Chains A and B, each alone.
Chain A
Amino acid sequence: MIKVKNIKIRELNIWERIYIPEIIRGLGVTLRHLFSNLLNPSSIPTISYPEEKVLLPGHAKERSRHRIKLRKDGTPKCVACMLCATICPAKCIHIEAGETENFVEKYPKKFDIDLSRCVMCGLCVEACPEDAIIMDTEEIPGGAKDRNASYGKDGLYATKEQLFEKKREISTFGAANRLANEFLLSKERGNRND
């Protein structure tokens, strides 16, 4: 059932209807901010992104181009649980799961993000139980690099190859990581028994 709610719109009073005084009042607000920002620049609430950054709360930290973290042996931490694809409001993450030989059993056979549809909300990062997907590359999709077409055909369709590209810190968090860690350890010791 759709509920109907009646909203009374306030009538304009006489000053507002004359219109000119309100314009002057609005210009006054603009001028006040102009001078206060001019004299005290530190009070400006906006920042000059991307030169300046503020860290976002939670796991998101920042929201630039995605990447998938890798394990010590170069395999992706992602286990294709699809939670990011489930939460994504733009429905722009396309994953196909495959089966691995190692302990973790599952990996993403296909992992594409259609960045031209992504709304950069960072929900995928929040949803990931494996600490695998993260948006901390400091690259802005559609920026200079994409125009140089170094990211595939149109730069805005990120595939596995590009997402898994960068190796940075080794992360050991995540639900299925106990298995991965045990696997890596056994590989180091040279006694695989999976």
Chain B
Amino acid sequence: MSFMPKIKIDGKEYIAKENETILQCAQRNGIYIPRYCYHPSLSIAGNCRMCLVEIEKMPKLQTACSTIVAEGMNVFTSSEKVKKARKDVLEFLLKNHPIDCPICDQAGECYLQDYYMDYGLRKSRVSLNEKVRRGKRRQLGDYLILDNERCILCTRCVRFCEEVTKTSELFVANRGDHSFIDIKPETSLNNPYSLNIADICPVGAFTSADFRFRQRVWFLKTTESICLGCATGCRIKVQHNDNTVYRILPLPNEETNTWLCDFGRMTYKEMYSEDRLNHITIESQEFGLDLDKVFDYIKEVKPQEIAVFLSPNLSIEDNIALYYFASNVLKTENIFIPSLPERKIEDGILKNSDPYPNSTGIEIIANKLKLKKDEKTSEKFALVISSLEIAKTYARDSKGIFFSLTKSDMNGAIVPMKSYFENEGTFVNWQKYARKTTVSVVNEKAFSVFDVMKRLAVLFGSNSFFSSLKDIEKFISSNGIDKEFK
């Protein structure tokens, strides 16, 4: 058994873990110590001095983020001495700060603002004109804008580039109050995880160029969901207002992700692309949102001519609806899953080699329901293929019903599909964690696969189809599919 030191924080006794810092121990026990440079997923720098605490028998205040606990330590996190120290540290940090809050995108989620209100509340002794000027608005890379005047030199951004992406683009240039964050000559800040820097920068120095000036953060509402940019299936926070998604942030968790890749953050843009479908197209003719037309298109086709493809882009529920429709309403035996790419983390951080979010999910379904796997088919008519690549591989020359977010050149009925911000469903990531997407924004000009199957089943005169997602869940558990999920 490892050694577990007993320490006292603010008069209460806690059992710390070995080699834990005071800050971590306090945090675990619900005591918040203000910090700038400390980040749980980065190395400890101890340069901002915001986390100073008083320790009995130590003449000077110590930084809680870098002091390891020791047996019998008696720590005070809110004594008068500590409060005074915080106030002074803040005054130093704000000494040359431009106080741009009205034009700063960080306002509302800024550690400077928060701590100033909590611990500072002191008028600046340096007038605006005397402040040291550093560069403003500088675009570094495609997604980031750096305002050096607002930087407090916590070096979180530098450490992120060194330790996480290992690309080391950033460094601290110059000395004293003229130091600033700079980028190495002839590099650009375009690593695939660059937008995490905007998240971890505790102030408005690094802000996102994509989100820039589009919303004030306090208007945003958050829903928790998952990113379906690849088979890793990171947990995310979707931030939206007035039925529009504005940005995606990571929702750190032990199992998969602390960070989020830039590609995943930009997936919401497809929803607002100019090519977004909002009507049904059948052989280049537009039909509004009338599913009866789709029925007319498919009703004459003989069951043995139809091939149905489950899709790694669709949720478990949608795939089950599709399977059930094919086997019980169409009564076809040709139900396939496409061949799926190998799944592994490519770059050692997050990005998976499999671009589909639910490959593992449909493999499980295929095993349980004994579906055929990737056979070349001679059927003339394909049903429901939601990924363009898969459609092109398996149904290039056939007619069919295709689901798509954006305009597509496939030959058949193209049905506008709900994006995963607009539809709820379960996806199984490469580690077999089953996670649900949530409806963040409402779209009435698109369908989920389940919506369409339900309507078609009615038109085919079937009365045994699922009537709600609950029924599908029952089907899933009665076939033991969910036993495979983590």
Contact = CB atoms under 8 A, between A and B. Distances in A.
Interface stretch (B2-10, B32-40, B99-107): B99-107
A80 B101 contact: no
A86 B108 CA distance: 12
Given A103-B136, A105-B137, A81 B102 contact: yes
Given A86-B218, A103-B136, A178-B129, A98 B213 contact: yes
B125 interface: no
Nearest to B218: A86
B175 interface: no
A38 interface: no
Contact of A176 (B103, B213, B214): B103
A82 B220 CA distance: 13
A176 B137 CA distance: 14
What secondary structure prevails in chain B residues at the interface with A? loop
A175 B100 contact: yes
Interface residues of B, number: 17
A104 B147 CA distance: 12
Given A86-B218, A176-B103, A106 B213 contact: yes
Interface string B96-138: 0011111100010000000000000000000011000000110
Size range of the interface on A?
20 to 34
B100 A80 contact: no
A83 to B, nearest CB: 7
B213 A97 contact: yes
A179 B100 CA distance: 9
A80 B99 CA distance: 16
Interface string A83-106: 100100000000001110001111
A111 to B, nearest CB: 14
A49 to B, nearest CB: 33
A99 B101 contact: no
Contact of A80 (B128, B137, B213): B213
A129 interface: yes
A134 interface: no
A79 interface: yes
14 contacts: A79-B102, A81-B103, A81-B216, A83-B102, A86-B216, A86-B218, A97-B213, A99-B212, A106-B103, A129-B102, A178-B98, A178-B129, A179-B103, A179-B136
Contacts of A99: 212-213
Contacts of B100: 175-176, 179
